[in-house]
């Protein structure tokens, strides 16, 4: 017996089917609503609207739960690597030893970028934001790899190519922005070792990837790998719904992630903490500004559309801060400010009443800073981490029998019908 929801409009009762998820989440299926009632729903920001049914990630915002393909984020953070987690998200289960070896071979084979692409980097204005460059370069990959994804083998190769090359594109853009020699990937390095080496190795200062930093980078990217239908993943799905290639869809996701309310928050948190420090470290003043309705200032790294409790990723990121900074014998005053800010905010009625807690971005910038990543590349780091999520969600939408071209409706509130006026009569 299908569960239904009753809707009474103009005295007539309509029965709409109810869809139930594995964890008993409920959705009213309104696919026939307009045809049967002439009505549409209204939900700016889609906070109450399900765009799809997905088997990739489960989030419980009230209880701070996050699972990739059923596995709790805490277990993946403790036991997995970024490449293994990427395999899990894309293929639906953890890889066997052989499958993991095979994916590593392909990621290595695909890790170089076409030499002609270096020309593109040098022609960007020197002060271009790395997210601007990354979004453009990912879209440009389509020009170098035009083959259509017509077979499972071509789809797999394209997805892994993207996963491997985006890391290289990010490191190359950093090196070129510094006027430094580009460092090529090495076959004897893992995915994360290669990224750090491509970023920081130099002929005059040979870089040896530090195991603790490599582990912290693996963890950072695992925590960012997917997050169900967030703004940038929704963008990837919407653009992909036009049946455009994965490069263009992911390029749109990178653009969406750049926003300071979304992935750009990790850079905005550091700017905010430095601002607080510059103004004498008055935490209470910052908290008061964040509460002031007349002040557009928001506490960056705080609050979340779904989590109404502590973001489980922020908990792990905070622990990582302590470990990485202790190991590197770094005492970052920004971490002290972040801790004080968290302590004051979590005791403040405004934040308690609004369910505002630290999210993944609140501590992540401090870990990246300890790794030596420049602040303007923090969101690029988020983008590389979110790639397996974007790729798996794009693939799932392509395979979804219910998936249609995304085209929302609207309620028109503009001018009534009028006539064109010749310019001399206006
Ligand atoms: C990410 O969706 C995802 O999963 C995203 C993400 C992922 O992994 O993909 O988790 C990554 O984007 C994390 C969020 C990073 N952004 C920030 O840290 C920016 C600061 N946060 C806020 O801008 C805000 O919390 C949002 C945008 C994250 C969520 O905002 P919502 O759900 O749209 O809620 P809202 O803006 O309508 O705010 C509700 C109330 C308002 O007060 P009232 O008008 O109801 O009295 O809460 C207040 C807001 O003013 N509020 C804040 C606040 N966030 C919300 N007040 C002060 N500081 C804040 N940070």
Q: Convert the pLDDT of each residue in 313-355 to its tens digit.
A: 999 999 999 899 998 888 889 999 999 999 999 999 999 999 9
> Which residue from 43, 304, 317, 342 has its CB within 8 A of the most atoms of ligand 1, so it is best to mutate?
304
List the residue whose alpha carbon is closest to atom 47 of ligand 1: 354
Mean pLDDT of the chain: 95
Q: Average of pLDDT values for 89-111? A: 97
Q: What is the pLDDT of residues 177-234, one digit of tens each?
A: 999 999 999 999 999 999 999 999 999 999 999 999 999 999 999 999 999 999 999 9
State in Å: Cα 301 to ligand 1 middle. 9
> Is it the case that residue 1 has pLDDT exceeding 80?
no
Q: Which residues pair with 57 in a beta bridge?
A: 68
Quote the ligand 1 centre to 295 CA distance (angstroms): 15
| Closest protein CA for atom 20 of ligand 1 | 300
pLDDT of residue 153: 92
Instruction: Render pLDDT for 145-154 as a digit per residue (tens, 0 to 9).
Output: 998 888 999 9
CATH topology of domain 265-371: Cytochrome p450-Terp; domain 2 (1.10.230)
Closest atom of ligand 1 to 362 CA is 18
Whole-number pLDDT of residue 328:
87
Distance 357 CA to ligand 1 centre (A): 10
- Mean pLDDT throughout 141-145? 96
**Which protein residues are within 6 Å of ligand 1, measured from CB?**
45, 227, 230, 261-263, 265, 290, 298-306, 354, 356, 359-361
Instruction: State the average pLDDT over residues 9-37.
Output: 97
Give the CATH number of domain 4-60.
2.20.28
2 confidence band (pLDDT: 50, 70, 90): confident
* pLDDT for the residue numbered 171: 97
pTM score over 0.75: yes
Which tens digit of pLDDT belongs to each residue from 372-403?
Answer: 999 999 999 999 999 999 999 999 999 999 99
Residue ranges per structural domain of the chain: 4-60, 69-262+390-399, 265-371
State pLDDT tens for residues 69-89.
Answer: 999 999 999 999 999 999 999
Would you say residue 130 has pLDDT above 90? yes
CATH number of 69-262+390-399: 1.10.580.10
- Going by CA atoms, what residue is nearest to atom 12 of ligand 1? 262
What local confidence, expressed as pLDDT, does residue 204 receive? 94
Nearest-CA residue for atom 16 of ligand 1 = 261
Q: What is the pLDDT of residue 68?
A: 98
């Amino acid at each position: 017996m299908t569960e239904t929801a009753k809707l009474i409009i103009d005295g007539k009762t309509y029965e709409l089917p109810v869809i139930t998820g594995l964890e008993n989440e409920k959705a009213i299926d309104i696919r026939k609503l307009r045809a049967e009632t002439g009505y549409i729903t209204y939900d700016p920001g889609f906070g109450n609207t399900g765009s799809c049914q997905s088997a990739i990630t489960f989030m419980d915002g009230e209880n701070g739960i996050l699972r990739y393909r059923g596995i709790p984020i805490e277990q993946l953070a403790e036991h997995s690597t970024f490449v293994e987690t990427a395999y899990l998200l894309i293929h639906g289960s953890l890889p066997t030893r052989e499958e993991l070896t095979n994916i590593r071979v392909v990621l290595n084979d695909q890790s170089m970028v076409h030499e002609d692409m270096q020309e593109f980097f040098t022609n960007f204005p020197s002060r271009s934001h790395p997210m601007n460059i990354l979004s453009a370069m990912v879209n440009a990959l389509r020009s170098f790899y035009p083959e259509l994804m017509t077979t499972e083998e071509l789809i797999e190769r394209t997805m892994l190519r993207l996963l491997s090359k985006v890391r290289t594109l990010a490191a190359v853009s950093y090196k070129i922005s510094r006027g430094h020699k580009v460092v090529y990937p090495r076959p004897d390095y893992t995915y994360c070792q290669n990224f750090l080496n491509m970023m920081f190795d130099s002929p005059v200062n040979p870089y040896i990837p530090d195991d603790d930093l490599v582990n912290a980078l693996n963890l950072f990217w695992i925590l960012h790998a997917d997050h169900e239908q967030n703004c940038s993943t929704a963008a990837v799905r919407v653009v992909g719904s036009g049946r455009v290639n994965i490069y263009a869809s992911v390029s749109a996701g990178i653009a969406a992630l750049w926003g300071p309310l979304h992935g750009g928050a990790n850079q905005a948190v550091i700017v905010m903490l430095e601002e607080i420090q510059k103004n004498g470290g008055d935490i209470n003043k910052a908290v008061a500004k964040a509460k002031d309705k007349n002040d557009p200032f928001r506490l960056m790294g705080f609050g979340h559309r779904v989590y109404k409790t502590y973001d489980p990723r922020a908990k792990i990121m905070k622990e990582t801060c302590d470990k990485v900074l202790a190991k590197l014998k770094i005492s970052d005053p920004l971490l002290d400010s972040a801790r004080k800010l968290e302590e004051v905010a979590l005791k403040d009625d405004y934040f308690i009443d609004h369910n505002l807690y630290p999210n993944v971005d609140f501590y992540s910038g401090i870990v990246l800073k300890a790794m030596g990543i420049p602040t303007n590349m923090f969101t690029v780091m988020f983008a590389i981490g979110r790639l397996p999520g974007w790729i798996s969600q794009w693939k799932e939408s392509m395979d979804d029998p219910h998936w249609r071209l995304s085209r929302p409706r609207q309620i028109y509130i503009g001018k009534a019908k009028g006539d064109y006026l010749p310019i001399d009569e206006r």
